[in-house]
Amino acid sequence: MQYTKVQISNSIAKLVEEGRSNDYALDLYLKMRMMNDLGPEQPFITKVPLPAEVRIHLMGNGTISDSDIKLELASSKYPSPRLIVKLSPACTLYAEKVHSSMQLTINDKNHTVMFLKSYRAEDIALWMIRQKQRLADYMNDWDVELQTAYKKLKIDHMAFLGIRAIFADAMKDYPKLKYVVVEQKRRAKIMVHIPNTTLGVYIYAWWGSYKKQLPQQIESLKLLLDVHRKSSIKNFFIHHKK
């Protein structure tokens, strides 16, 4: 699977928005970058290599130290041997044969699982060597990616503050109106309650469209409030999604 730059950026921005740790996001980022460097599968290859076979092609490669290449024997915790390749103090690849594919993870994290089916032991070894060589470039790009994600998060929060200010200013002529503005993913949720009634209004203001949509939503709300003032309607609920 190939990940586009947009897919990578959106994935990291989503993790930052969800409050995931930088280490968690970094591991996923490295997975996507490394998968993009796998190269095409070889359909004629039907037998998955063993970790020990990959290790043979790695030993003495001159890029990854032999002391950073280990074969962990099968145990009660890991039913099959695992190849452990340390690319840096903070990045280690784990490879084991699982059914009909070679399963790899970064730092032994479940969210970084990669399945390699149609690759030779030599192909996988060369790929691991390339990842060692390119890790510094990945990390340089990661710094930019993370800054972009946090910048986007800040921009989204500024949009939320803008929505809250616009709504507060628009409602200043309704001093008895009670409402709450909640920041959500990619939008603000405005929950309005009119005292002494069971009337409720939900307004969703999206970051990308609130400047155009919110004024219309506010006008609809004001119309509803004015109608309510002039009528005896006390018991209904509005769910506004525009």
pLDDT tens, 149-163? 999 889 989 999 999
Backbone angles phi, psi at 61, to 5 degrees: -75, -15
Q: How confident is the model at residue 226 (pLDDT cuts 50, 70, 90)?
A: confident
Among 192, 202, 197, 203, which residue's Cα sits nearest to residue 231? 197
Q: Is 138 helix (H, G, I), strand (E, B) or coil?
A: helix
Q: Which is nearest to 20 in space by CA: 9, 28, 32?
A: 28
In which band, very low, low, confident or very high, does the pLDDT at 173 lie, cut at 50, 70 and 90? confident
Q: Is the pLDDT of residue 76 over 80?
A: no
pLDDT of the residue at 11: 94
Buried b (16+ CB within 10 A) or exposed e, 203-231: bbbebeebeeebeebbeebeebbeeeeee
Q: Do residues 58 and 129 touch, judged by C-beta distance below 8 A?
A: yes
Contact 85, 68 (CB under 8 A): yes
How far apart CA 202 and CA 187 sit, in angstroms, is 12
Residue 238 pLDDT greater than 60, yes or no: no
| Predicted pLDDT at 239 | 53
236 pLDDT exceeds 60?
no
Bridging pattern class, strands 114-116 and 187-193: unpaired
pLDDT value at 46 more than 80: no
Give yes or no for a contact between 68 and 131, defined as CB atoms under 8 angstroms apart. Answer: no
Give the Cα separation of 204 and 160 in Å (integer): 11
Task: Work out the average pLDDT over 174-189.
Answer: 90
Average pLDDT rounded to a whole number, residues 85-112: 94
- Which tens digit of pLDDT belongs to each residue from 199-216? 788 999 999 899 999 999
Q: Is 62 left (phi over 0), alpha (psi -120 to 50) or beta?
A: left
Nearest C-alpha neighbor of 201 from the set 185, 186, 219: 219
pLDDT of residue 196: 66
Q: How much is the pTM?
A: 0.74
